[in-house]
Amino acid sequence: MTAVHVRTTLRPMRWWDIDPVMALELRLFPDDAWSPAMYWSELAETHPGGNRHFTVATTEDGTIVGYAGLMAVGTEGDVQTIAVDERHQGLGLGALLLTDLVEESVRRGCTELLLEVRVDNLRAQRLYERFGFVPVGIRRGYYQPINVDALVMRLDHPNDDLKESLHG
Ligand SMILES: CC(C)(COP(=O)(O)OP(=O)(O)OC[C@H]1O[C@@H](n2cnc3c(N)ncnc32)[C@H](O)[C@@H]1OP(=O)(O)O)[C@@H](O)C(=O)NCCC(=O)NCCS
pLDDT digits (tens, 9 = 90+) for 129-160: 999 999 999 999 999 888 999 999 999 988 77
CA of 94 to the centre of ligand 1 (A): 5
CB-ligand 1 contact for 127 (6 Å cutoff): yes
CB-ligand 1 contact for 101 (6 Å cutoff): no
Mean pLDDT, residues 14-34 taken together: 96
Mention the CATH class of domain 8-167.
alpha beta
Please name the residue whose Cα sits nearest to atom 43 of ligand 1.
83
Q: Strands, DSSP E only, in the chain?
A: 9-12, 52-58, 64-73, 76-84, 112-118, 134-143, 148-156
Q: Which of 116, 129, 143, 164 is catalytic?
A: 116
Mean pLDDT, residues 13-27 taken together: 98
Is 116 an active-site residue? yes
Mean pLDDT, residues 55-74 taken together: 97
**pLDDT computed for residue 120 by the predictor:** 96
CB-ligand 1 contact for 152 (6 Å cutoff): no
Tell me the C-alpha distance between 114 and 148, whole Å: 19
Is 61 in contact with 7 (CB distance < 8 Å)?
no
- Where do the structural domains in the chain lie, given as residue ranges? 8-167
CB-ligand 1 contact for 121 (6 Å cutoff): yes
| Single pTM value for the model | 0.91
**pLDDT computed for residue 158 by the predictor:** 83
- Residue 166 confidence class, pLDDT cut points 50, 70, 90: low
CA of 1 to the centre of ligand 1 (A): 14
Please name the residue whose Cα sits nearest to atom 1 of ligand 1.
124
